[in-house]
Amino acid sequence: MFAWGASPFAMTLEVLNRMDRSSFKEALGWIFEHAPWVAERAWESRPFADLNHLHRAMVGEVDRASREEQVALLRAHPDLGTRARLTAASASEQAGAGLDQLTREEFASFTMLNEAYKKKFGFPFLFAVKGSGKREILEALARRTPADADAEFGEALRQVYRIAEFRLRDYLDQES
């Protein structure tokens, strides 16, 4: 089975475009956290001309999904800054942002704000952490918690789309 960072070869669009549905789902099912259905449905849009085409196809599948599927996708993500079990992709992303090295005070702030956010919206705070630091993430969490529910739902999906794009860019060999 393919897993983030564990491919035995450089994944290319050429290889993805030749895969059957099952192999495609296995190769890209992790891109959207615990939602392999996104890759499985996007397979129908092959062949992909470039990474952006692939990303748009996957985003389109989430956009067309039911509200229940979208909420389940959001809920599949871990809380930022917690010490919960994480997928390899999430662990790497959070470590890159310094969220694996929080002080006690920072951890307490993340825990408190994450709980308030989840209580209000029904899903964890989502933020594409690549290129950001823990202070910026904590500030975004504090700033977005008072948001309107519909606006925040849209923002959470946009963040998931950014996370997926970062993962695709990291996973695919950009030479092809």
Q: CA 112, 76, 91 angle in degrees (round to 5)? A: 75
SS3 of residue 11 by DSSP: strand
Q: What are the backbone angles phi and psi of residue 93, rounded to the nearest 5°?
A: -65, -45
CA-wise closest residue to 13 among 62, 57, 54, 45 = 54
Q: How far apart are CA 136 and CA 127, in angstroms?
A: 10
Given 34, 53, 55, 77, the catalytic residue:
77
DSSP code at position 174 = T
Q: Is 34 a catalytic residue?
A: no
Q: CA 31, 35, 37 angle in degrees (round to 5)? A: 105
Catalytic residues, which ones? Answer: 77
